[in-house]
Amino acid sequence: MSRDISGIGMTSQRTRDRLAERLQAKGIRDRRVLNAIRRTPRHLFVEEALSSRAYEDTALPIGHCQTISQPYIVARMTEALLVPGVPREVLEIGTGSGYQAALLAQLVEHVYTVELIRELSVQARERIRKLRLKNVSFKQSDGSWGWPEHAPFDAIMVTAAPEEIPDALLDQLSIGGRMVIPVGRKSGMQRLVLITRLADRYEQEELEAVSFVPLVQGPKTS
Ligand code: SAH
Protein backbone atom coordinates (compact mmCIF):
# COMPACT_ATOMS: atom_id res chain seq x y z
CA MET A 1 0.00 0.00 0.00
CA SER A 2 1.21 3.53 -0.68
CA ARG A 3 1.84 5.71 2.33
CA ASP A 4 -1.33 7.81 2.09
CA ILE A 5 -3.43 4.66 1.78
CA SER A 6 -1.76 2.78 4.65
CA GLY A 7 -1.54 5.94 6.80
CA ILE A 8 0.78 7.12 9.58
CA GLY A 9 0.25 8.23 13.19
CA MET A 10 -3.47 8.76 13.81
CA THR A 11 -4.24 7.07 10.48
CA SER A 12 -1.88 4.10 10.87
CA GLN A 13 -2.58 0.38 10.81
CA ARG A 14 -2.26 0.34 14.59
CA THR A 15 -5.11 2.86 14.86
CA ARG A 16 -7.30 0.78 12.54
CA ASP A 17 -6.56 -2.32 14.62
CA ARG A 18 -7.66 -0.46 17.75
CA LEU A 19 -10.93 0.54 16.10
CA ALA A 20 -11.57 -3.12 15.24
CA GLU A 21 -10.85 -4.09 18.86
CA ARG A 22 -13.27 -1.44 20.09
CA LEU A 23 -16.01 -2.71 17.76
CA GLN A 24 -15.40 -6.24 18.95
CA ALA A 25 -15.78 -5.05 22.54
CA LYS A 26 -19.10 -3.45 21.53
CA GLY A 27 -20.38 -6.81 20.25
CA ILE A 28 -19.26 -7.17 16.63
CA ARG A 29 -18.32 -10.84 16.34
CA ASP A 30 -17.90 -11.54 12.63
CA ARG A 31 -14.17 -11.94 11.84
CA ARG A 32 -14.72 -11.11 8.18
CA VAL A 33 -16.24 -7.75 9.09
CA LEU A 34 -13.55 -6.96 11.67
CA ASN A 35 -10.83 -7.82 9.15
CA ALA A 36 -12.40 -5.59 6.52
CA ILE A 37 -12.47 -2.74 9.09
CA ARG A 38 -8.76 -3.37 9.75
CA ARG A 39 -7.97 -3.27 6.03
CA THR A 40 -10.02 -0.25 4.99
CA PRO A 41 -8.40 3.21 5.27
CA ARG A 42 -11.38 5.20 6.60
CA HIS A 43 -9.19 8.33 6.71
CA LEU A 44 -9.39 8.47 2.90
CA PHE A 45 -13.19 8.70 3.09
CA VAL A 46 -13.30 11.92 5.14
CA GLU A 47 -11.87 15.38 4.47
CA GLU A 48 -8.18 15.65 5.20
CA ALA A 49 -8.82 18.05 8.09
CA LEU A 50 -10.78 15.27 9.84
CA SER A 51 -8.42 12.39 9.07
CA SER A 52 -7.01 12.32 12.62
CA ARG A 53 -10.56 11.54 13.81
CA ALA A 54 -11.30 8.91 11.16
CA TYR A 55 -10.80 5.97 13.54
CA GLU A 56 -13.00 7.28 16.32
CA ASP A 57 -16.25 5.35 16.53
CA THR A 58 -18.35 8.31 15.43
CA ALA A 59 -20.19 9.62 12.38
CA LEU A 60 -18.35 12.50 10.68
CA PRO A 61 -19.49 15.18 8.19
CA ILE A 62 -18.76 14.56 4.48
CA GLY A 63 -20.29 17.79 3.10
CA HIS A 64 -23.74 18.47 1.60
CA CYS A 65 -25.19 18.04 5.13
CA GLN A 66 -24.42 14.30 4.95
CA THR A 67 -22.33 12.04 7.18
CA ILE A 68 -20.15 8.95 6.96
CA SER A 69 -21.88 6.51 9.33
CA GLN A 70 -20.50 5.48 12.71
CA PRO A 71 -18.16 2.46 12.28
CA TYR A 72 -20.11 0.40 14.84
CA ILE A 73 -23.32 0.80 12.82
CA VAL A 74 -21.51 0.10 9.55
CA ALA A 75 -20.12 -3.12 11.06
CA ARG A 76 -23.48 -4.09 12.60
CA MET A 77 -25.35 -3.63 9.32
CA THR A 78 -22.68 -5.51 7.36
CA GLU A 79 -22.67 -8.36 9.86
CA ALA A 80 -26.45 -8.67 9.59
CA LEU A 81 -26.19 -9.29 5.84
CA LEU A 82 -23.50 -12.00 5.97
CA VAL A 83 -25.60 -14.69 7.62
CA PRO A 84 -26.82 -17.33 6.90
CA GLY A 85 -24.69 -17.11 3.71
CA VAL A 86 -22.56 -14.43 2.07
CA PRO A 87 -24.70 -12.56 -0.49
CA ARG A 88 -23.32 -12.38 -4.04
CA GLU A 89 -24.82 -9.14 -5.24
CA VAL A 90 -25.58 -6.29 -2.87
CA LEU A 91 -27.42 -3.05 -3.51
CA GLU A 92 -26.47 -0.12 -1.30
CA ILE A 93 -28.67 2.97 -1.16
CA GLY A 94 -26.79 6.12 -0.08
CA THR A 95 -23.19 5.81 -1.32
CA GLY A 96 -22.14 8.89 0.70
CA SER A 97 -18.38 8.73 1.19
CA GLY A 98 -18.13 5.25 -0.31
CA TYR A 99 -16.73 3.70 2.89
CA GLN A 100 -19.55 1.19 3.36
CA ALA A 101 -19.34 0.22 -0.32
CA ALA A 102 -15.57 -0.31 0.03
CA LEU A 103 -16.10 -2.63 2.99
CA LEU A 104 -18.81 -4.61 1.20
CA ALA A 105 -16.67 -4.87 -1.93
CA GLN A 106 -14.12 -6.88 0.07
CA LEU A 107 -16.78 -9.30 1.30
CA VAL A 108 -19.16 -9.96 -1.59
CA GLU A 109 -18.94 -10.51 -5.34
CA HIS A 110 -20.43 -7.24 -6.56
CA VAL A 111 -21.72 -4.03 -5.00
CA TYR A 112 -24.22 -1.73 -6.73
CA THR A 113 -24.43 1.62 -4.99
CA VAL A 114 -26.84 4.50 -5.61
CA GLU A 115 -26.40 8.09 -4.42
CA LEU A 116 -28.65 11.09 -4.96
CA ILE A 117 -25.93 13.78 -4.81
CA ARG A 118 -23.72 13.70 -7.89
CA GLU A 119 -20.61 15.15 -6.27
CA LEU A 120 -20.62 12.55 -3.48
CA SER A 121 -21.05 9.76 -6.03
CA VAL A 122 -18.12 11.06 -8.10
CA GLN A 123 -15.84 11.42 -5.05
CA ALA A 124 -16.74 7.93 -3.79
CA ARG A 125 -15.99 6.42 -7.18
CA GLU A 126 -12.57 8.09 -7.17
CA ARG A 127 -11.72 6.79 -3.67
CA ILE A 128 -12.74 3.25 -4.51
CA ARG A 129 -10.73 3.37 -7.75
CA LYS A 130 -7.70 4.42 -5.73
CA LEU A 131 -8.13 1.35 -3.50
CA ARG A 132 -8.24 -0.79 -6.67
CA LEU A 133 -11.63 -2.28 -5.79
CA LYS A 134 -13.10 -3.16 -9.16
CA ASN A 135 -16.37 -4.81 -8.18
CA VAL A 136 -18.41 -1.68 -7.38
CA SER A 137 -20.90 -0.05 -9.79
CA PHE A 138 -22.08 3.49 -9.11
CA LYS A 139 -25.25 5.29 -10.08
CA GLN A 140 -26.44 8.80 -9.37
CA SER A 141 -30.20 8.73 -8.83
CA ASP A 142 -32.99 8.47 -6.28
CA GLY A 143 -32.32 5.16 -4.55
CA SER A 144 -35.95 4.83 -3.42
CA TRP A 145 -36.43 3.22 -6.83
CA GLY A 146 -33.56 0.79 -6.34
CA TRP A 147 -31.65 -0.29 -9.44
CA PRO A 148 -34.18 -2.40 -11.38
CA GLU A 149 -31.80 -3.28 -14.24
CA HIS A 150 -29.65 -5.34 -11.87
CA ALA A 151 -32.38 -6.77 -9.63
CA PRO A 152 -32.96 -9.04 -7.85
CA PHE A 153 -30.31 -8.57 -5.15
CA ASP A 154 -29.29 -11.10 -2.51
CA ALA A 155 -28.96 -8.23 -0.07
CA ILE A 156 -29.91 -4.57 0.15
CA MET A 157 -28.39 -2.10 2.58
CA VAL A 158 -30.03 1.29 2.98
CA THR A 159 -27.90 3.92 4.73
CA ALA A 160 -30.44 6.77 4.88
CA ALA A 161 -33.77 6.54 6.69
CA PRO A 162 -37.16 6.58 4.92
CA GLU A 163 -40.34 7.00 6.96
CA GLU A 164 -41.61 3.87 5.29
CA ILE A 165 -39.80 1.10 3.45
CA PRO A 166 -39.98 1.79 -0.31
CA ASP A 167 -41.93 -0.94 -2.17
CA ALA A 168 -39.41 -0.92 -5.02
CA LEU A 169 -36.69 -2.09 -2.64
CA LEU A 170 -38.85 -4.91 -1.26
CA ASP A 171 -39.61 -5.97 -4.86
CA GLN A 172 -35.92 -6.04 -5.80
CA LEU A 173 -34.93 -8.44 -3.03
CA SER A 174 -34.45 -12.06 -4.14
CA ILE A 175 -36.26 -14.90 -2.35
CA GLY A 176 -34.17 -15.65 0.72
CA GLY A 177 -32.56 -12.20 0.39
CA ARG A 178 -32.05 -9.81 3.29
CA MET A 179 -32.39 -6.05 3.61
CA VAL A 180 -31.13 -3.93 6.45
CA ILE A 181 -32.71 -0.49 6.64
CA PRO A 182 -33.24 2.30 9.19
CA VAL A 183 -36.88 3.37 9.35
CA GLY A 184 -38.46 6.37 11.01
CA ARG A 185 -38.84 10.12 11.15
CA LYS A 186 -35.75 12.28 11.37
CA SER A 187 -36.76 13.95 14.58
CA GLY A 188 -37.99 10.80 16.24
CA MET A 189 -36.20 7.60 16.95
CA GLN A 190 -35.40 5.41 13.97
CA ARG A 191 -35.33 1.63 14.17
CA LEU A 192 -32.79 -0.48 12.33
CA VAL A 193 -34.83 -3.24 10.71
CA LEU A 194 -33.72 -6.53 9.15
CA ILE A 195 -36.09 -7.89 6.52
CA THR A 196 -35.90 -11.38 5.06
CA ARG A 197 -37.87 -12.21 1.93
CA LEU A 198 -39.43 -15.66 2.05
CA ALA A 199 -41.30 -17.32 -0.84
CA ASP A 200 -44.67 -15.98 0.29
CA ARG A 201 -43.95 -13.14 2.75
CA TYR A 202 -41.45 -10.83 4.35
CA GLU A 203 -40.12 -11.41 7.84
CA GLN A 204 -39.11 -8.43 9.92
CA GLU A 205 -36.78 -8.20 12.92
CA GLU A 206 -35.79 -5.08 14.81
CA LEU A 207 -32.08 -4.72 15.53
CA GLU A 208 -31.60 -1.45 17.43
CA ALA A 209 -32.30 2.27 17.66
CA VAL A 210 -30.27 4.37 15.22
CA SER A 211 -29.93 7.89 13.87
CA PHE A 212 -29.47 8.31 10.10
CA VAL A 213 -29.90 11.21 7.71
CA PRO A 214 -33.29 11.03 5.97
CA LEU A 215 -33.76 9.18 2.69
CA VAL A 216 -34.89 11.95 0.39
CA GLN A 217 -37.93 10.75 -1.52
CA GLY A 218 -39.29 12.59 -4.51
CA PRO A 219 -41.22 11.89 -7.70
CA LYS A 220 -39.61 9.49 -10.14
CA THR A 221 -37.55 11.50 -12.64
CA SER A 222 -36.03 8.84 -14.86
N1 SAH B 1 -23.06 4.74 3.30
C2 SAH B 1 -22.46 6.05 3.44
C3 SAH B 1 -23.17 6.94 4.43
C4 SAH B 1 -24.37 7.46 3.84
S5 SAH B 1 -25.09 8.92 4.48
C6 SAH B 1 -21.00 5.97 3.80
O7 SAH B 1 -20.47 4.87 3.97
O8 SAH B 1 -20.37 7.02 3.86
C9 SAH B 1 -26.58 8.79 3.56
C10 SAH B 1 -26.42 9.11 2.09
O11 SAH B 1 -27.69 8.85 1.49
C12 SAH B 1 -26.10 10.56 1.79
O13 SAH B 1 -24.95 10.64 1.00
C14 SAH B 1 -27.34 11.06 1.04
O15 SAH B 1 -27.03 11.99 0.02
C16 SAH B 1 -27.88 9.78 0.44
N17 SAH B 1 -29.29 9.81 0.09
C18 SAH B 1 -30.32 10.41 0.73
N19 SAH B 1 -31.48 10.17 0.09
C20 SAH B 1 -31.17 9.41 -0.99
C21 SAH B 1 -31.93 8.85 -2.05
N22 SAH B 1 -33.24 9.00 -2.14
N23 SAH B 1 -31.28 8.10 -2.98
C24 SAH B 1 -29.94 7.91 -2.91
N25 SAH B 1 -29.17 8.43 -1.94
C26 SAH B 1 -29.78 9.17 -0.99
16 within domain boundaries: no
| Best residue among 42, 69, 159, 221 to mutate for probing ligand 1, ranked by most atoms within 8 Å of CB | 159
CATH of the domain at 103: 3.40.50.150
Return the pLDDT at 222: 47
Per-residue pLDDT, 181: 98
- Residue whose CA is closest, atom 12 of ligand 1? 96
pLDDT at 46: 96
Q: Tell me the best of 62, 93, 211 to mutate to test the pocket of ligand 1, counting ligand atoms within 8 Å of each CB and taking the most.
A: 93
> Smallest Cα–Cα separation from 111: which of 81, 144, 67, 85?
81
pLDDT of residue 65: 92
Measured from the CB, is residue 161 less than 6 Å from ligand 1? Answer: no
Q: Give the pLDDT confidence of 152-172 residue by residue, as tens digits.
A: 999 999 999 999 999 999 999
Per the structure, the complete domain to which residue 143 belongs is given by 59-210
Low-confidence ranges of the chain (pLDDT < 70): 1, 3, 187-188, 219-222
On the question of a cis peptide bond just before residue 152, with omega within 30 degrees of 0, the verdict is yes
In a domain, 105, yes or no: yes
pLDDT value at residue 1: 64
- Asked, for residue 41, whether it belongs to a domain, the answer is no
Q: Is residue 24 part of a domain?
A: no
pLDDT reported for residue 220: 54
Q: What total number of domains does the chain contain?
A: 1
54 belongs to a structural domain: no
26 is a domain residue: no
In a domain, 66, yes or no: yes
**Does the active-site annotation cover 69?**
yes
Q: Is residue 79 part of a domain?
A: yes
Q: What is the pLDDT of residues 102-135, one digit of tens each?
A: 999 999 999 999 999 999 999 999 999 999 999 9
Burial class from Cβ neighbours inside 10 Å (0-12, 13-18, 19+) for residue 149 reads exposed
Ligand 1, atom 18, lies closest to the CA of 215
